[in-house]
Amino acid sequence: MKIPCLDLKGQHQQIKNEVFEQFEKVYENTAFSGGPFVENFENAFAEYCEVPHAIAVNNGTNALHLALLALGIGKGDEVIIPANTFIATAWAVSYVGAKLVFAECTTDTWELDINHAESLITSNTKAIIGVHLYGQPCDIEGTQALAKRHNLYFIEDAAQAQGAEYKGKRVGSFGDVACFSFYPGKNLGACGEGGACTSHSEALTKKIKRLRNHGCDVRYHHEVIGYNMRMGGLEGASLGVKIKYLTSWNNKRRAIAKRYLNEIKNDKIQMQSQPEETNSVFHLFVVLTEDRDDFMSYLNKKDIYPGLHYPIACHLQNAYKHLGHNAGDIPVAENQASKCISLPMYAELTDEMVSTVIKAVNDY
Ligand SMILES: *Cc1c(COP(=O)(O)O)cnc(C)c1O
């Protein structure tokens, strides 16, 4: 039996009829761009994240881009992000013309290292993006305090963490703005592409809504140079169905993660530490091992197909060659990139599949 890192088929079979019913309604209403299905989802998502405002957009990368634009970040400004994240966190900073400053991660949680981030702050630093990596909230209070001390904006990159909790409160409500992705493979994924910003601020919400819709508050009155970053109606409708299942799917991932955490016993395998104040949604279950390639081929021989998240740290990507970083500049993040491997993780994994993975890892 093949065990992939992720399989979206089970989830989509389960909800197919319900989603197709909604698709039919979108079709009948020709509500293909924005519209009532997207607005319904926005309301449901804001409520889910315990924030007053959610603004749906066409993907998570653009949610980050719009958040930075709405905060007025641009040329001459510096934004600190962790070096170990999906590249889209960095793209957003590049899109607005600000300077990317890569920070280290901690050796145990693998989340943004607050002390290293603080050492990188200059008079030009405007914002810090905390990424809730693999579904686990970053050091939110630490980042909030840091932002406050230095008068910076705190943006949550919650693309991997829909429903994750910090001290009992859901992510998306802690930063000046939080950004989510609904890429199909995320814990809450659209049948298509999608993203959202959440915020407590009505003023920021208004700016983001204006920017996503050609700079308009009123049709054909373009107040600023805007973008077309609206969410499609079919995507909004699919998310409106799927959000009702998110907590139960997240809890299934948590139960699988609990088994991995309790039952994997192998000195060659390091797992992400789970601080008491966090309640991860385990978007990915990443472990570190010294000889990653060897471990990968070992698992493949047992018909287990892990993923890699992410094999090259952002500062060493060819796209950022011009920034002049060298191997060894951000050693903990680089170590993470060279040793990470993602065990299978999705709600539909059976007990038997999980047992197979655990046995294989323990026998390594
Ligand atoms: C997926 C992801 C994004 C980008 O989202 P898209 O919807 O794919 O554009 C941004 N940040 C992180 C951490 C992600 O995992």
In the chain, domain spans: 9-103+110-244, 247-363
The span from the CA of 227 to the CA of 222, in Å, is: 11
Q: State the distance from the centre of ligand 1 to the C-alpha of 324, rounded, in angstroms.
A: 25
Which has the closest alpha carbon to 58: 173, 244, 208, 281? 208
**CATH number for region 247-363:** 3.90.1150.10
Whole-number pLDDT of residue 271:
98
Three-state DSSP class for residue 40: helix
- Per-residue pLDDT tens for 187-226? 999 999 999 999 999 999 999 999 999 999 999 999 999 9
- Per-residue pLDDT tens for 290-317? 999 999 999 999 999 999 999 999 999 9
Q: State the distance from the centre of ligand 1 to the C-alpha of 181, rounded, in angstroms.
A: 5
Whole-number pLDDT of residue 261:
98
Ligand 1 proximal residues by C-beta, below 6 Å: 59-61, 85-86, 88-89, 131, 157, 159-160, 181, 183, 195
What does DSSP say about strands 78-82 and 99-103: parallel, antiparallel, or unpaired? Answer: parallel
Ligand 1 test: best mutation among 61, 94, 179, 193, most atoms within 8 Å of CB?
Answer: 61
Q: State the distance from the centre of ligand 1 to the C-alpha of 182, rounded, in angstroms.
A: 8
Ligand 1 test: best mutation among 89, 136, 235, most atoms within 8 Å of CB?
Answer: 89
Whole-number pLDDT of residue 46:
98
Cα–Cα distances (Å) from 349 to 118, 129, 152, 320, 356, in that order, read 40, 32, 41, 37, 11
Whole-number pLDDT of residue 29:
98
Specify the ligand 1 atom closest to the Cα of 186.
Answer: 1
CB-based contact 283:256 (threshold 8 Å): no
Read off the pTM.
0.98
Q: State the distance from the centre of ligand 1 to the C-alpha of 88, rounded, in angstroms.
A: 6
Q: State the distance from the centre of ligand 1 to the C-alpha of 60, rounded, in angstroms.
A: 5
User: Residue 162 is encoded by which pair of tokens?
Assistant: 């829909």
Q: State the distance from the centre of ligand 1 to the C-alpha of 355, rounded, in angstroms.
A: 30
Return the sign of the alpha-carbon dihedral for residues 162, 166, 167, 173. negative
Q: State the distance from the centre of ligand 1 to the C-alpha of 64, rounded, in angstroms.
A: 9
Specify the ligand 1 atom closest to the Cα of 131.
Answer: 13
Whole-number pLDDT of residue 293:
97
- Per-residue pLDDT tens for 39-74? 999 999 999 999 999 999 999 999 999 999 999 999
pLDDT under 50 in the chain at which residues?
none
Closest-CA residue, ligand 1 atom 2, reads 159
> Measured in Å, how far apart are the chain's first and last C-alpha atoms?
19
- Amino acid at residue number 334: E
User: Residue 255 is encoded by which pair of tokens?
Assistant: 């139960």
Whole-number pLDDT of residue 5:
97
Architecture of domain 9-103+110-244: 3-Layer(aba) Sandwich (3.40)
Asked if domains 9-103+110-244 and 247-363 share a fold, the reply is no
